[in-house]
Structure 1
Amino acid sequence: MDMNAFLRWLRDTVASARQSAHKQIIRFQRPGDYRRFLQDWSEVKQNDSNSASPLSLVKPIPIIRGISCPLPFIDTPGRFSEDIVIEHDRRIAVHSSPQKSSLFDKGIPWGVQQIKAPLIWGTTTGHRVKVGVIDTGVDFSHPDLRHSLSRGINLLNRSMLPHDDNGHGTHIAGTIAAANQLTGMIGVAPRSLIYPVKAFDHNGSAFVSDIILGIDWCVRNRVNVINMSFGMKTRSKALLNAVTNAHNAGVIIVASSGNDAKRRSIDYPARYASTISVGATNKLRRIAPFSNRGAYIDVYAPGDKIISAWLRGKYHEMSGTSMATSHVSGAIALLLAYKPGLSPTEIKTILKRSLVPLRGVKTRRNIGELDVTRMIQAAERL
C-alpha cells in the first residue's frame, strides 16, 4: 500500500468534507499497513504546526487496526479498495426505560435476592475482579459506590474523570458492585471493582467508534468483564471485530438483548456469538413483556423495576435488559473471584448449565434465569 498516497487522500478528503462530513471507521486489512500508517501519521502530525490540521481529527483504534475520522459518505476509494474497509460510524443507545425516583429502603434489592447472590457471599464477593462498564460514566460521590470504583476513562473528554451526566451508568454500577451495608444498597458482587468507561453522552447516545475505543481500553487495562448495556439494530463489522478480539484476549463481554419485545431477534452486539446475551425477567420469574427473547438469548436475569444507585447519592427505579445485564456481570465477577482463570467460553458454558427454568415458557430446554448458587456448583463440576 502506498502510505504517502493514502495519507494525502485522507488529509484532502477530511479537509474538503468538513461541512458535509459524517464519522466513518476505516480498517486496514493488513497489520503491516496499519503499523506503517500509525508511524507515518504521527510523524506528519508532529511536523505539522497547524493544530487545526485535518489529520488531527483522526483517532487510532488499535484493537481493530483502524481509525475513526469525519469523511463524506463514500465507498472505499478504488486505488485503496483491497487495503482498507470503510464503515459508517453509527450511533448506538443505552437499553432502558424512562426512570423514576425511588426512596430506597437500605438493604439488598429484589433482583440481587432473586439470583441468590447473598447465599454465596460467604464463599465469594467478587474480590478485586475488574468489571469495565462502558456507559454514561458513574457518580464518583455516591456513598454506595465509594469503595467500588477505579478511575476509569472518559472517552468524550480525556482530561476529565468519567463523571455520569445521565444516570444510566451509575445505575448499572450499583447493581454490579454497590457496597454500603449499613445505610445503602448492596450489589451482586460488592467487593468487585468497577472501571467506568464513559463513551455515552448525557442523552445515552454514543458512536460505535467510541464503544470500540472503550473495549480497546478495557483489554489494555486487563479488565476481566465488560458490561455492555446498550445496542443497535444494524450489524457493524468493526464492532464484531473488536468484540471477537476482546473475547480471544480472555475478556468476558456481557451484552443486553434489547427492549423491543421481539421473539426471534436481538440487538447487536448481544447477537454476536462471542458475547453473553441477556434478557430480562420480572419478580414472577417470567420474561418481562418488554424484553427481546428467543434462541439468541444465553441467560435471563432480573430487569423489571430495578432500584439502584443514581446521581447525587439518590436511587432510581429502571426497567430494561440493561438492568438484567448488570446482574449477570456481577454474577460473573463472583464466579471469577471463586475460580480465577476461567475463559469466556467456559463461563458461558457454566451459565447455561446452571439456569433455573422460567415460568410461562413452554420449551424449557436451554432457557432460564441466572442462579448464582447453581452457577458456583456448575463451576465445581467443570
Structure 2
Amino acid sequence: MSNPEWSRRDVLKTVGVGAVGLGVGAVALDRMDRYIVGARDADATLAAASVSDTREERIDLSKYTGLTLVVGAYSKATRQSLFSREDVAFVHPDHELSYVDAPASETPPASDQQSGEDQQPSDQVLPWGIDRVDADVAHAEGATGEGVHVGIVDGGITASHPDLEANLADPSVEGNHRAWVECSGDDCEHPWSDDGDHGTHVAGTVAATEGDSGVVGVAPEATLHALKVCGGAGGCRTSDIAGAIRYAADQGWDVVNLSLGGPSESPALQAAGEYARDSGVVLVAAAGNAGRPDSVGYPAAYDEFVAVSATTIDDGIASFSSTGPEVDVAAPGESVCSAVVDGHDVLDGTSMASPHVAGGVAQLLAAGTSPEEVRDRLLDSAEDIGNAEDEQGAGLLDVAAALDYDSDDDGTGDGTGCPA
C-alpha cells in the first residue's frame, strides 16, 4: 500500500469527537480523543489495544494491506509513544465525515421540469440523470444489473419503500444489512433503516425498480444492502466507514457506493479501500461539494476509489462540485429526483452523482466485465461534454456505450420532475 507521509503535527493534533461510542462507555469516550492506529503486526495491535482509555475496536485489514486498525481513546502522550514505534504506520484522528450534499438548487426553468400537477401518481418518472447517462437505453436492451450486489455505505435504506423493496436484500437474513449507527425515531423498522432520506435517495438512483410508478434506477434489478454508518443528521465516523467497507468485501459483494467524505486525508480509509479493491470490490465515491478547483475530498481522492463529480441538466459542471485531477468521471448531480423515506424528492450534490456511477458499475459487472476492467471501461466509454479534464474526468458516464449499445440518445427524461 502506498501510504502518504504523516507529519507529527498532523498526526497528533486533536479533533472533536461525536456521540458514537465503540460499544461501551460512549459518554466517557465523547470526552476523550478518539484515534485510529494503523498497526503493522500483532505486537503493535496488542500495544495499541492495551493502552486505549476505553475498550478498543479492531478492524483487521491484514490479508491485503498488512495492517490492523485499532480504534480507541488515547492521550497525547500515549499517541506520541505509539507513533514512535516502527511497527505503527500511523496514528490519526477518527474524523467525522459527512454527506456530500449541496444546498437545494433554485427551481429550474419550466422547460426543464415536469410539474407535480402534470405528473400522475400512477406514472413512473424517468429522472433526467437516468436518461442522460443512457441507462434507459441499457434497460431497453435487457440490461438490468441483475445478480450484482451493491453496498450502500450511508444513512440506511427504507426497507418498505415501494421503489426499493423488491431489490433490497432480504431483511430477515442476518448479515444482509448492518448498522454501525442505529436508526433513531418513530419509523425505524430496522437498526439500519434510514432516518434522514439520504441513503434511500442514493439507493433509488442505483437500483429503483422499473415499473408503473415511482422512479427507476440505473440498475433496476441489482441487489441493495444497507450499511448504515451515518445518523439522520449526516455525521459518519471514519472508523465506521472503514469497518463497513471491510464488511462489504468480506460478504463478497460487488460494488460499494460512498456518497460521503471529508477534506482530511485518511490512511485508514485508504487501507480499507485497498483491502476491498484487492477483494474484488469496485468502490465509487462522491468527489465532494467544495465548489472549487483542487478540492476532491476523501476517500474519493484515493486511487482505490472511482471519484465522481456532478453535472447539471445542461451538461455543465455543478457550481457546488469539487474538481481536481483525482476526478475520474462525471455524472448527474443537480436537481436529481429519487426515493426518500416518505416518497420522492429532488436533491443536489455529488452524493447524487456517485450512485449513477455505482449503478453503471453494477451494469458492467452483470454483463461480465471483471472488477479489474471496470474503471477503464467506464472511462474509455465516457462522453466528452466539453468541460476541463479536472472537472469532468474522462467525461460523462455513458452506461449504454460502456455496454456497447448505441449511445446517441442525449435525452433528459422527465426533467427534474418527481412523482406526485
TM-score normalised by the chain length of structure 2: 0.76
Q: Once the two structures are aligned, what percentage of the paired residues are identical?
A: 30
Q: 2:250 is matched with which residue?
A: 220
Q: Choose from 234, 240, 265 the match for 2:270.
A: 240
Question: What aligned pairs does 1:82-161 form with structure 2 within 5 A after superposition?
Answer: 82-84=86-88, 85-98=90-103, 103=116, 106-121=124-139, 122-150=141-169, 151=171, 152-157=177-182, 160-161=190-191
In the superposition, relative to structure 1, how do residues 18 and 243 fare at CA in structure 2: closer, same or farther (>3 Å)?
closer
Deviates more, 1:226-235 or 1:83-92: 83-92
Residue deviations 1:48-97, cap 9 Å, x none?
xxxxx965x32121124122122234433169722334221111011112
Preserved contact between residue 287 and residue 309 of structure 2 (Cα < 8 Å):
yes
Preserved contact between residue 21 and residue 73 of structure 1 (Cα < 8 Å):
no
Q: Choose from 64, 68, 72 the match for 1:65.
A: 68
Q: Name the CA distance, whole Å, in 2 between partners of 1:113 and 1:369.
A: 12
Q: 2:39 is matched with which residue?
A: 28
Q: Name the CA distance, whole Å, in 2 between partners of 1:25 and 1:143.
A: 39
Q: Name the CA distance, whole Å, in 1 between partners of 2:401 and 2:319.
A: 26
Q: Name the CA distance, whole Å, in 1 between partners of 2:317 and 2:182.
A: 38
- Letter of the aligned partner of 1:67 in structure 2? V
In the superposition, relative to structure 1, how do residues 248 and 183 fare at CA in structure 2: closer, same or farther (>3 Å)?
same
Preserved contact between residue 365 and residue 371 of structure 2 (Cα < 8 Å):
no
> CA shift at 1:98, angstroms?
3.9
TM-score normalised by the chain length of structure 1: 0.83
Q: Name the CA distance, whole Å, in 2 between partners of 1:72 and 1:157.
A: 28
Q: Name the CA distance, whole Å, in 1 between partners of 2:166 and 2:392.
A: 40
- 3-state DSSP of counterpart to 2:181: coil
Q: 1:272 is matched with which residue?
A: 302
- Letter of the aligned partner of 1:97 in structure 2? A
- Letter of the aligned partner of 1:321 in structure 2? T
- Letter of the aligned partner of 1:338 in structure 2? A
- Letter of the aligned partner of 2:327 in structure 1? I
Question: What aligned pairs does 1:124-203 form with structure 2 within 5 A after superposition?
Answer: 124-150=143-169, 151=171, 152-157=177-182, 160-203=190-233
- 3-state DSSP of counterpart to 2:38: strand
> Any gaps of 5 or more consecutive residues in structure 2?
1-24, 62-66, 108-114, 172-176, 184-188, 406-420
Preserved contact between residue 284 and residue 305 of structure 2 (Cα < 8 Å):
yes
Q: Name the CA distance, whole Å, in 2 between partners of 1:362 and 1:219.
A: 31
- 3-state DSSP of counterpart to 2:214: coil
> CA shift at 1:18, angstroms?
5.5
RMSD: 3.0
In the superposition, relative to structure 1, how do residues 123 and 182 fare at CA in structure 2: closer, same or farther (>3 Å)?
closer
Preserved contact between residue 303 and residue 320 of structure 1 (Cα < 8 Å):
yes
Q: 2:7 is matched with which residue?
A: none
Q: Name the CA distance, whole Å, in 2 between partners of 1:203 and 1:129.
A: 30
- Letter of the aligned partner of 1:86 in structure 2? V
Q: Name the CA distance, whole Å, in 1 between partners of 2:302 and 2:232.
A: 27
Q: Name the CA distance, whole Å, in 2 between partners of 1:69 and 1:212.
A: 14
- Letter of the aligned partner of 2:376 in structure 1? T
Question: What aligned pairs does 1:31-50 form with structure 2 within 5 A after superposition?
Answer: 32-33=42-43
> CA shift at 1:295, angstroms?
2.1
Q: Choose from 326, 351, 359 the match for 2:355.
A: 326
Q: Name the CA distance, whole Å, in 2 between partners of 1:194 and 1:217.
A: 14
Preserved contact between residue 323 and residue 390 of structure 2 (Cα < 8 Å):
no
Q: Choose from 364, 371, 375 the match for 1:343.
A: 371
- Letter of the aligned partner of 2:93 in structure 1? H
Preserved contact between residue 135 and residue 196 of structure 1 (Cα < 8 Å):
yes
In the superposition, relative to structure 1, how do residues 275 and 138 fare at CA in structure 2: closer, same or farther (>3 Å)?
same
- Letter of the aligned partner of 2:129 in structure 1? G
Q: Name the CA distance, whole Å, in 1 between partners of 2:391 and 2:70.
A: 44
- 3-state DSSP of counterpart to 2:71: strand
Q: Name the CA distance, whole Å, in 2 between partners of 1:284 and 1:160.
A: 39
**How many residues are aligned here?**
347
Residue deviations 1:130-180, cap 9 Å, x none?
111100001111111111112410112499531111111000000000115
Confirm whether residue 358 of structure 1 aligns to residue 358 of structure 2: no
Would you tell me which structure has more helix in proportion to its own residues?
Answer: 1
Preserved contact between residue 123 and residue 338 of structure 1 (Cα < 8 Å):
no
Preserved contact between residue 99 and residue 316 of structure 1 (Cα < 8 Å):
no
Q: Name the CA distance, whole Å, in 1 between partners of 2:201 and 2:69.
A: 32
Q: 1:49 is matched with which residue?
A: none
Q: 2:413 is matched with which residue?
A: none
> CA shift at 1:252, angstroms?
0.5
- Letter of the aligned partner of 2:131 in structure 1? Q
Q: Name the CA distance, whole Å, in 1 between partners of 2:34 and 2:389.
A: 45
- 3-state DSSP of counterpart to 1:369: coil
